[in-house]
């Protein structure tokens, strides 16, 4: 049975059907098709297209189909239908009779498949998100296990400077965290319902599409019917996120492959996840990482194919769009599979501590430390760089490491060099010197690992985002400020005051619940203040406070504000974000607005801090935990 046969008097050629039909791959949409059908039955009942007995009959039949498909996902392939939509109607009619023929009233395969595909994308993304978090957790555990171990860092595949193994692992944590964030942001745009848009012009039944969208679990309905049935931006966006994430997985795979070679020998992969050679008995191959690296091209290829499919399409639906599924299904499945296997094999990875540390001492990787030593003693960096290079050349000629050159040889290049140079050239000193934010100094890496673990805990507990506040957030913001005012952290604010200033607020949202807020108040002089910053007690320590501050500072930058102030009892938190202590008496705007009416005016225990935003990038804002 076809869904379009009335117009045609001839028999469809089998060759055409073989080429045209899509059930062989779109059967994977069956659970989502049935979900849409259940919601649509309620719509038809409300619009009196169905009576209650017919609606009940359809609901029961669809529910049974859902159970059958859950038990046997390949069930639709047993019936020779054109596509998943035709299969549902055909099998329903077999089971419950002609009432099934009413199901398609007021809808089209165009809006139905667009809705099915979005539901599939949201479901698959949830699974991929969990897999991403599993890899992040595995990397964090690896970093914790080898937190203090040293390995060489590379540029141009040549030894450059020593780094901690944990620092290497945390670099990939950063990449995968961004992948997770991009996935969640893509899902926000995917989470809209096309159902009820009809073939292209909207349904002929006066349905409430917003209620229908909510019944299906979407955040809202698509606003334009032409766009709704022909839009595949969400497919392209998710393929893009998948492609970039697979590039990250390919890069980590390449690192591990290289580090596990006989030439490097820093990492060892356990026998449980390695393979050998059919010819060479000595071989131990990192096949799993090579496969991940290879599958990257496959996923990226699906992105390019989808872009080319859409490039020349006019509005609205065209049969070309049937090509949106196979590559999309494959890309998300491969992405999830690669993440799953990576989470499994990272714990099987071990570091050859002695060999990695020895390699970190080779290659004159402390040459920069010698240049820094000379700079500390007043020499211009370019001169220090040149002297250090000449001493490296001398060490190479004598076949000695730099730190073994005799002092008199070094002093021939510069009299600023003294006995203490040898301590400065040690591996420990090289690492300790990189104590800037994001550096590889042990203390810095330890703090970075702590923060990353807290961020991970927050992600595992539920997705959190920071956004501009809206009027619907006023009650939650009021409650947050009321709570912290009672704790003595904020001045109390009335709901009507918050409503009037809602454009100044940002909120942190976790699982659709506001869990934090902060405001950027701009004074008439152009000075701005971050105020009313607070989180629900269960969300502290996860980095949300810093994200709220970053959001406000970005607003300030866009407004052209140069200086932002804060008055706080937690100066260390803001200091870690780049704020410096300031004399609040130099802020007449703040003093006149709030300080004069503060009950603690004469016994103020708050510290004033400020940050300048337009000073050649001096202050870099980073995610620190509140």
Catalytic residue numbers?
Answer: 156, 277
Distance CA 400, CA 479 (A): 67
Beta bridge partners of 153: 161
Spatial CA neighbour of 62 closest among 114, 102, 109: 102
> Do the beta carbons of residue 149 and residue 362 sit within 8 Å?
no
Per the listing, tokens 């296997």 go with 341
> Do the beta carbons of residue 270 and residue 156 sit within 8 Å?
no
- CA torsion, ordered 42, 45, 49, 50, to nearest 10 deg: 100
Q: What's 384-449 look like in SS3? A: HHHHHHHHHHHHHHCCCCHHHCCHHHHHHHCCCCCCCHHHHCCHHHHHHHCCCCCCCCHHHHHHHH
Q: Where are the beta strands (DSSP E) in 175-273?
A: 192-193, 220-221, 267-269
DSSP code of residue 275: B
- CA torsion, ordered 371, 372, 374, 375, to nearest 10 deg: 120
- CA torsion, ordered 311, 316, 317, 319, to nearest 10 deg: -50
Spatial CA neighbour of 59 closest among 105, 86, 106, 99: 99
Segment holding 351, helix H or strand E:
strand 349-351
> How many Å is the Cα radius of gyration of the chain?
31
Segment holding 236, helix H or strand E:
helix 233-259
Please enumerate in sequence order all residues whose Cβ is within 8 A of that of 494, keeping only pairs 6 or more positions apart, or say none.
none
25: exposed, middle or buried (C-beta count within 10 Å: 0-12, 13-18, 19+)?
middle
Spatial CA neighbour of 29 closest among 324, 234, 303: 324
Spatial CA neighbour of 520 closest among 556, 550, 486: 556
Segment holding 529, helix H or strand E:
strand 528-535
DSSP code of residue 145: H
Per the listing, tokens 């997705």 go with 463
Distance CA 626, CA 617 (A): 23
């Amino acid at each position: 049975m076809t869904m379009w046969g009335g117009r045609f008097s001839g028999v469809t050629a089998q060759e055409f059907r073989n080429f045209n039909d899509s059930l062989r791959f779109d059967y994977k949409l069956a659970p989502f098709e049935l979900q849409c059908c259940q919601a649509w039955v309620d719509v038809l009942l409300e619009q009196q297209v169905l009576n209650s007995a017919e609606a009940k009959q359809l609901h029961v039949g669809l529910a049974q189909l859902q159970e059958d498909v859950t038990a046997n996902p390949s069930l639709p392939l047993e019936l020779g239908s054109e596509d998943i939509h035709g299969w549902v109607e055909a099998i329903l009619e077999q089971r419950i009779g002609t009432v099934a023929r009413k199901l398609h009233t007021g809808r089209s395969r165009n809006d139905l498949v667009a809705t099915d595909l979005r539901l599939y994308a949201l479901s698959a993304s949830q699974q991929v998100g969990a897999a991403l978090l599993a890899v992040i957790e595995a990397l964090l555990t690896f970093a914790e296990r080898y937190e203090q171990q040293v390995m060489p860092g590379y540029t141009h595949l040549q030894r450059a400077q020593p780094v901690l193994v944990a620092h290497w692992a945390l670099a990939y944590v950063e990449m995968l965290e961004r992948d997770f964030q991009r996935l969640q942001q893509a899902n926000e745009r995917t989470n809209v319902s096309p159902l009820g848009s009809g073939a292209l012009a909207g349904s002929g039944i006066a349905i409430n599409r917003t209620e229908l969208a909510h019944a299906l679990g979407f955040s809202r309905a698509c606003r334009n019917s032409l766009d709704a049935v022909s839009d595949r931006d969400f497919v392209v966006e998710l393929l893009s996120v998948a492609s970039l994430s697979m590039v990250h997985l390919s890069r980590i795979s390449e690192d591990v492959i290289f580090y596990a070679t006989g030439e490097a020998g820093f990492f060892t992969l356990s026998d449980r996840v390695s393979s050998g050679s059919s010819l060479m008995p000595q071989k131990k191959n990192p096949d799993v990482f090579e496969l991940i690296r290879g599958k990257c091209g496959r996923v990226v290829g699906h992105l390019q194919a989808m872009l080319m499919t859409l490039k020349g399409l006019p509005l609205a639906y065209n049969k070309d769009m049937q090509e949106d599924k196979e590559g999309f299904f494959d890309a998300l499945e491969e992405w999830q599979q690669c993440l799953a296997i990576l989470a499994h094999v990272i714990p099987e990875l071990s570091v050859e501590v002695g060999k990695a540390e020895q390699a970190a001492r080779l290659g004159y990787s402390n040459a920069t430390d010698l240049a820094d030593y000379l700079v500390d003693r007043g020499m211009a960096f370019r001169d220090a760089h040149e002297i250090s290079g000449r001493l490296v050349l001398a060490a190479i000629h004598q076949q000695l490491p730099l730190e073994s050159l005799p002092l008199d040889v070094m002093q021939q290049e510069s009299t600023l060099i003294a006995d203490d140079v040898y301590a400065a050239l040690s591996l420990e000193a090289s690492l300790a010197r990189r104590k800037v934010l994001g550096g590889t100094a042990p203390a810095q890496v330890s703090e970075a690992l702590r923060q990353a673990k807290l961020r991970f805990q927050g992600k595992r507990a539920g997705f959190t985002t920071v956004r501009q506040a809206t009027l619907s957030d006023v009650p939650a913001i009021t409650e947050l400020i009321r709570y912290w005012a009672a704790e003595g952290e904020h001045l109390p604010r009335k709901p009507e005051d918050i409503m009037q200033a809602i454009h100044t607020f940002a909120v942190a949202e976790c699982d659709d619940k506001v869990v934090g807020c902060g405001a950027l108040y701009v004074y008439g002089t152009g000075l701005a203040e971050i105020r009313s910053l607070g989180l629900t007690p269960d969300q502290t320590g996860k980095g949300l406070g810093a994200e709220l501050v970053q959001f406000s500072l970005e607003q300030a930058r866009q407004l052209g504000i140069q200086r932002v102030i804060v008055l706080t009892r937690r100066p260390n938190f803001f200091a870690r974000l780049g704020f410096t202590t300031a004399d609040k008496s130099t802020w007449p705007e703040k003093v006149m607005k709030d300080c004069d009416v503060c009950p603690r005016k004469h016994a103020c225990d708050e510290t004033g801090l400020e940050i300048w935003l337009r000073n050649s990038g001096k202050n870099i804002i980073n995610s620190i935990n509140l």
